[in-house]
Amino acid sequence: MREFLLYSRMGKTEPRWTNLHDAGRLDIVYECVEASLFLSHGLRRDVTFNAVLNGPPNPPMHIQILGETLYDVRTDIDTWNAILKKAVSGKTHPGVSMQKTGFEALLKAKAETHSIYVLEEGGADITETHICENPLFVLGDHVGLPKNAERFALRYGEKISLGKQPYLAASCITVINYLLDQQQKQKNQDTQTD
C-alpha cells in the first residue's frame, strides 16, 4: 500500500468558497488526488491520499482518501469541489474522511507502519533509492514544505528527490506512481522467471 501526504499551508478549513483555487489553493489538493488515485479507466485501489489543511479558520484538518473504498466519483473539478466541501464540513463520502489531526501527529502515527520519504530537490535520487514496502511520500504545496515540518518528517524518514528541477506536487506524484508501477512490474516478472 502506498500513500501520499500533502502539506497544504493555506487550504481553507471551512466550506465557504466558490472555487478550489480561492479556497486556499485547494485546487492543488484536487490535482494531487487525481494524480494519486486515478488511472485512465479506474482507480488505484492500493493507494491512499492524505492532505493536512492548515488554512483558516480551524486548522489543522486531515482529509484522507482511500482508493480501496472510494466510489461515486469522477475526475472533474466540480465533483471534487463538492467532495472537499463535504469533507471540510464533516459530512461523509465513500472513501473520504476528515479528522482534526495535525501534520506532526499524523506523520508520527504513519511512521509506525510506513517508510517515510520526504520529497525535496536536495534529496537522494529516487531512482537510486530502495523504496521499502508501505511507502509514504511527503510533499509540500506550491509554496513547499515548511522547514519545521520537513525537519520533523526527517526524524522518521529520508529525503529523496526527482532531481534539481522543482516540479508541481501532482507531477511528482505521477512520476512516483510510474516509477513504483515499473518496479512492481519488474518484481512480478522476476517472480515468474524463478
State what percent of residues in the chain have pLDDT above 90. 93
Identify the pLDDT of residue 194.
66
Identify the pLDDT of residue 192.
79
The CATH architecture to which 2-193 belongs is: 3-Layer(aba) Sandwich (3.40)
pLDDT digits (tens, 9 = 90+) for 29-69: 999 999 999 999 999 999 999 999 999 999 999 999 999 99
The residue extents of the domains of the chain are: 2-193
For 108-112, the CB contacts below 8 A with 24+ separation are 108/156, 110/3, 110/5, 110/136, 111/136, 111/156, 111/157
Q: Using 50 as the pLDDT threshold, list the residues of the chain that sit under it.
A: none
Identify the pLDDT of residue 176.
98
Global pTM reads: 0.96
